[in-house]
Amino acid sequence: MDINQVVGTLICTYRIEGLGHCSLRILRDAKGKLQVATDPVGVRDGNWVFTVSGSAGRYAMGDASILTDLTIGGILDEWDAP
């Protein structure tokens, strides 16, 4: 698991069927690297979140057939960013 900050929403006109209608969020890690994660939680820009990666990311979506390797697992209520 990693901690990231939500910096935006990714809008895709076309996507593969395996992603369904999942919300996609743009995340930034502590080093500034951007990543995209599926969002079953309903986060907002600026939220600090923890992510689940690999095959656990598919299970975190509640449907192992969703094709993702990075999923937001929850919103951090309290976090002192480094």
Q: Is the pLDDT of residue 19 over 90?
A: no
pTM assigned to the model: 0.89
Reduced to 3 states (helix: H, G, I; strand: E, B; else coil), residue 71 is strand
- Domain extents in the chain: 2-75
The per-residue pLDDT for range 40-60, each reduced to its tens digit, is: 999 999 999 999 998 888 888
In angstroms, the CA 64 to CA 68 distance is: 9
CATH superfamily placement of domain 2-75: EutN/Ccml (2.40.50.220)
